[in-house]
């Protein structure tokens, strides 16, 4: 998507490596890059030009989150990309205010660099779908009935076993796929009036999906990373659902089983199991969940999950 | 990736019932009927649980709630999948008590993942929420704990 409205990228206190990469991509895609050394400067610069992307490190959850809130008010369509360190635990005012950055990347150099690269390219090009963007050459299968789920899981299990994936990761991948497929069958389908078709059904019900309701599963493997995706043809998943689950994760708040139906519990368990979770939504058309699981996380990086919510913009 | 069906083995030793549960707890697990028939102290042996999905969590919580409060029960040899639920799902434990559980470790020399059985009572006395040091069965080197300590041991009060 060309930058016809001359939107800029604003970056606050970047590290050398992040700045280097950001400059390169901004140049490549024709986006002016604006650098700020502190919050006040960021605000001043944000007033002068429309922003497409604001990138910041969360160092002080109160100040940085208040800053993001102000920028979001000025430029509602500006996406937020926040880096955060392991030391930042607890309730972010940002999340309490329900003003969420679209992308949360843990600071664990050098892993954040490829994550940032693909994220920026997706945002700025508005080309967001596809597990292939994460270096995966996937195998794909379409699910037509809930009865097929077990067989497909077995087939995918056999594929990963042939790649010598450790049992611990295989179990997590099984859970992720199970939850995402159940979400695609029971939660995602809506009729022409936007009403959910199978939402209230018991999860052991047999659902034969109509041709236009069938989700697609993609799975693959690159060195050290297992990747899965489930795409439904509805695009009903909302950003607020995504981040309410993230907030539960961040504050390690226990979930009350039985309190809610639908995707909440399953998503919570999915997020717990992955290293990186990407949600791509084209509203009313399709939602793609991509899960990346590292076979062996570097020591000390457990629990630092990278989370992304992309939404297609109208041309 | 586990889609093994749930298997429940009952062993009655007179004073108590041991339930060995293996496989996957999901939407097809019919736990409520089995649990509601228990009337003497129960030990749940959960080493063999390889997966529990969100529908399975619902089944478990509803079934545990059906156990009469006068029927004491313990969870023993809990697999890591069960520990995750104990840490995050209110009411997963009901009025029961956790006796022992498996914790994930990793040998950096052999590059092998393993699990070690830990006793809750011993941890409370000795290490609290810190993983107790363990040695590799093969090379005898110190193992690394392979999860987030504060998350994994969160259920130990």
CATH number at residue A191: 3.30.565.10
Interchain CB distance below 8 Å, B53 and A166: no
B2 assigned to some structural domain? no
Distance CA A81, CA A62 (A): 16
Say whether pLDDT at A89 is over 70.
Answer: no
User: Tell me, what's the pLDDT at A2?
Assistant: 54
**Residue predicted with more confidence, B10 or A6:** B10
Lowest average pLDDT, out of A81-95, A106-120, B70-84, goes to: A81-95
Separation CA A58–CA A81 (nearest Å): 10
* Interface touch A166/B51, C-beta < 8 Å: no
Q: Is residue A21 classed as helix, strand or coil in its secondary structure? A: helix
pLDDT higher at A108 or A98: A108
Whether residues A145 and A291 fall in one domain? yes
Whether B63 is covered by a domain: the verdict is yes
Candidate from A144-148, A175-179, A251-255, B70-74 with smallest mean pLDDT: A251-255
Which of A166, A302, A303 is nearest residue B113 as measured by Cβ atoms? A166
What's the whole-number mean pLDDT along residues A139-165?
92
Q: Is the model's pLDDT at B55 over the cut of 60?
A: yes
Residue A9 has pLDDT above 80, yes or no: yes
Instruction: Report whether pLDDT(A161) > 60.
Output: yes
Average pLDDT over residues A9-17: 92
The Cα–Cα gap between A247 and A138 comes to: 31
- Rounded to a whole number of angstroms, the distance from the CA of A250 to the nearest CA of chain B is 11
Select the residue of B52, B61, B113 nearest A258 (Cβ to Cβ): B61
**Mean pLDDT value across residues B13-42:** 89
Q: How confident is the model at residue A303 (pLDDT cuts 50, 70, 90)?
A: low
Q: Which residues of A touch B (CB under 8 A)?
A: 150, 153-154, 156-157, 160, 166-168, 170-171, 173-175, 177-179, 182, 202-204, 252, 254-258, 265-266, 268-269, 272, 299, 302-303
> Given this model, what pLDDT does residue A298 score?
54
Residue with tokens 């429940």, as numbered in its chain: B8
Residue A175 pLDDT class (50, 70, 90 cuts): very high
CB contact under 8 Å between B1 and A168, yes or no, is: no
As beta bridge partners, residue B8 has: B21
pLDDT > 90: what percent of chain A?
54
Task: Give the list of residues 6+ apart from residue A179 with CB closer than 8 angstroms, or none.
Answer: A266, A267, A269, A270, B53, B54
CB B53 within 8 A of CB B26: yes
Q: Peptide bond before A254: cis, by omega within 30 degrees of 0?
A: no
- Amino acid A34: pLDDT: 96
User: Following DSSP, what letter does each residue of A79-93 receive, concatenated?
Assistant: EEEEEE-TT--S--H
Q: Residue B126 above 90 pLDDT?
A: no
Confidence (pLDDT) at A188: 93
Does residue A257 register a pLDDT over 70?
Answer: no
- Residue whose C-alpha is closest to residue A275's, from A173, A154, A171: A173
Q: Which of A64, A94, A125 is a domain's end point?
A: A125
Q: Are residue A164 and residue A306 in the same domain, yes or no?
A: yes
Instruction: Centre a 10 Å sphere on the Cβ of residue B126 and count the other Cβ atoms it contains.
Output: 10
A181 chain-B contacts, CB cut-off 8 A: none
Q: Is the same domain home to A160 and A301?
A: yes
Distance of CA A132 to the CA centre of its chain: 15
Mean residue pLDDT of chain A comes to: 85
Q: Do B1 and A157 touch (CB under 8 A)?
A: yes
Which pLDDT belongs to residue A185?
94
Q: Does pLDDT of A195 surpass 80?
A: yes
The answer to whether residue B133 is domain-embedded is yes
Q: Are residues A87 and A180 in the same domain?
A: no
Point out the domain boundary residue: A125, A158, A180.
Answer: A125
Please check whether residue A3 lies inside any domain of the structure. no
* Co-location of A35 and A93 in the same domain: yes
Nearest Cα to A266, choosing from A177, A141, A149, A198? A177
Kindly state whether B149 is in contact with chain A, defined as any CB-CB distance less than 8 angstroms: no
Same domain for A18 and A140, yes or no, is no
Q: Strands A276-282 and A286-294: what pairing?
A: antiparallel
Q: Answer yes or no: do B54 and A182 touch at CB < 8 A.
A: yes
Owner of token pair 């018991």 = A202
pLDDT-based confidence at residue A300 (cuts at 50, 70, 90): very low
Q: Residue A259: its pLDDT value, please?
A: 42
CB atoms within 10 A of CB A307: 23
Residues of B in contact with A203 (CB under 8 A): 26-27, 55
Q: What is the pLDDT of residue A297?
A: 64
The SS3 of residue A18 is helix
In this structure, the answer to whether residues A93 and A148 fall within a common structural domain is: no
Q: Which domain holds residue B121?
A: 7-152
A150 and A239 share a domain?
yes
Query: What is the tally of structural domains in chain B?
Result: 1
B134-140: list long-range contacts, CB under 8 Å, 24+ apart: B134/B105, B136/B107, B136/B109, B136/B110, B136/B112, B138/B107, B138/B110, B138/B112, B139/B107, B139/B109, B139/B110
CATH code of B101's domain:
3.30.750.24
Which residues in chain A are closer than 8 Å to B5, comparing Cβ atoms?
A: none
In a domain, B139, yes or no: yes
Minimum CA–CA partner of B54 in chain A? A266
Looking at the partner chain, which of B28, B61, B147 has a beta carbon nearest the beta carbon of A257? B61
Within-domain flag for A217: yes
Check residue A145 and report its DSSP letter.
B
Least confident of A11-15, A73-77, A298-302, B105-109: A298-302
Same domain, A148 and A120: no
Determine, yes or no, domain membership for B66: yes
Contact B81 A168 (CB under 8 A): no
Q: In angstroms, rounded to a whole number, what is the distance separating the alpha carbons of residues A146 and A140?
A: 17
Is residue B73 a part of any domain in this protein? yes
What is the pLDDT at residue A260?
44
A141 and A290: one domain?
A: yes
Closest CA to A174 of B25, B102, B51, B27: B51
- Nearest 10 degrees: Cα torsion A10, A16, A21, A22: 0
User: Cα–Cα distance between A136 and A133 in angstroms, integer?
Assistant: 7
C-alpha angle with apex A226: A247 to A128, nearest 5 degrees?
65
Model confidence at A210: pLDDT above 80: yes
Distance CA A273, CA A283 (A): 26
User: Which of A174, A255, A257 is opposite residue B51, by nearest beta carbon?
Assistant: A174
pLDDT tops 60 at residue A253: no
Which of these ranges, A77-81, A96-100, A155-159, B124-128, has the smallest mean pLDDT? A96-100
Q: Is residue A1 part of a domain?
A: no
Q: Is the pLDDT of residue A66 over 60?
A: yes
- Comparing CB atoms, the residue among B1, B80, B151 nearest residue A170 is B1
Kindly state the tokens that stand for B69.
């409060």
Per-residue pLDDT averaged across A95-102, rounded?
A: 69
Nearest to B90 among A177, A202, A257 (CB): A257
Q: Give the best residue of B31, B49, B51, B54 to mutate against chain A (max A CB count within 10 A).
A: B54
CA atoms of A92 and A103, how far apart (whole Å): 15
Which residues are within 8 A (CB) of B4 and not within 5 positions of it... i.e. 6 or more apart?
B22, B23, B24, B50
Q: Considering its fold, how many domains does chain A have in total? A: 2
Give pLDDT, residue A5: 65
Name which of A167, A171, A302 is nearest B147 (Cβ-Cβ): A302
Q: Does residue A184 share a domain with residue A114?
A: no
Note the pLDDT of residue A101.
84
Q: Which domain holds residue A184?
A: 131-311
Q: Are B105 and A270 in contact (CB under 8 A)?
A: no
- Is B107 within the bounds of a domain? yes
- A201 and A81 co-located in one domain: no
Q: CA of B114: which chain A residue's CA is closest?
A: A168
Residues of A in contact with B26 (CB under 8 A): 178, 203
Query: Would you say A64 and A92 are in contact if contact means Cβ atoms under 8 Å apart?
Result: no
Position B1 in a domain: no
How far does CA A52 lie from the centroid of its chain?
18
Instruction: Please check whether residue B145 touches A, CB under 8 A.
Output: no
Residues A177, A148: contact at Cβ < 8 Å? Answer: no
Closest of B13, B70, B63 to residue B43, by C-alpha: B13
CA–CA separation, A63 and A58 (whole Å): 9
Where residue A103 sits, what CATH number does that domain have? 3.40.50.2300
Instruction: Establish if A211 belongs to a structural domain.
Output: yes
CB contacts < 8 A, A to B, total 87
Taking residues A27-31, what's their average pLDDT? Answer: 92
């Amino acid at each position: 998507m060309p930058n016809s409205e001359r939107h800029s990228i604003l970056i606050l206190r970047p590290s050398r490596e992040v700045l280097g990469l950001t400059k390169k991509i901004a140049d490549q895609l024709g986006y002016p890059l604006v650098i700020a050394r502190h919050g006040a400067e960021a605000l001043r610069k944000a007033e002068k030009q429309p922003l497409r992307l604001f990138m910041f490190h969360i160092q002080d959850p109160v100040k940085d989150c208040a800053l993001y809130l102000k920028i979001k008010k000025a430029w509602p369509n500006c996406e937020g990309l926040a880096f955060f360190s392991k030391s930042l635990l607890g309730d972010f005012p940002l999340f309490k205010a329900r003003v969420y950055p679209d992308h949360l990347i843990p600071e664990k150099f050098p892993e954040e660099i490829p994550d940032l690269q693909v994220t920026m390219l997706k945002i700025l090009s508005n080309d967001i779908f596809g597990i292939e963007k994460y270096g995966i050459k996937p195998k794909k299968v379409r699910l037509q009935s809930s009865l097929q789920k077990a067989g497909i899981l077995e087939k995918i299990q056999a594929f990963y076993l042939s790649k010598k994936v450790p049992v611990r990761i295989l179990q997590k991948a099984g859970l992720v796929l199970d939850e995402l497929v159940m979400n695609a069958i029971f939660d995602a389908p809506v009729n022409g009036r936007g009403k959910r078709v199978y939402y209230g059904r018991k999860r052991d019900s047999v659902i034969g999906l109509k041709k236009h309701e069938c989700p697609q599963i993609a799975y693959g493997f690159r060195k050290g990373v297992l990747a899965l995706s489930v795409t439904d043809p509805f695009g009903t998943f909302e950003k607020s659902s995504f981040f309410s689950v993230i907030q539960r994760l961040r504050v390690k708040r226990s979930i009350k089983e039985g309190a809610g139906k639908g995707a909440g519990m399953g998503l919570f368990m999915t997020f717990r199991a992955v290293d990186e979770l990407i949600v791509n939504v084209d509203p009313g058309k399709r939602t793609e969940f991509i899960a990346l699981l590292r076979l062996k996380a570097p020591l000390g990086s457990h629990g630092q999950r990278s989370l992304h919510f992309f939404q297609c913009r109208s041309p | 990736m586990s889609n093994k069906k749930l298997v429940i083995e009952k062993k009655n030793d007179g004073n108590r019932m041991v339930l060995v549960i293996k496989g996957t707890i999901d939407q097809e697990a019919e736990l409520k009927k089995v649990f509601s028939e228990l009337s003497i102290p129960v030990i749940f042996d959960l080493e063999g649980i390889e997966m529990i999905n969100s529908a399975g969590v619902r089944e478990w919580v509803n079934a545990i709630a059906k156990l009469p409060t006068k029927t004491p029960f313990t969870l023993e040899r809990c697999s890591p999948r069960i520990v995750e639920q104990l840490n995050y799902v209110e009411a997963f434990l009901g009025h029961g008590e956790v006796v022992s559980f498996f914790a994930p470790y990793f040998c950096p020399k052999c590059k092998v993942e393993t699990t070690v059985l830990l006793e809750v009572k011993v941890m409370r006395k000795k290490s609290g929420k810190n993983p107790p040091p363990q040695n590799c069965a093969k090379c005898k080197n110190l193992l690394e704990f392979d999860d987030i300590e504060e998350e994994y041991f969160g259920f130990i009060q």
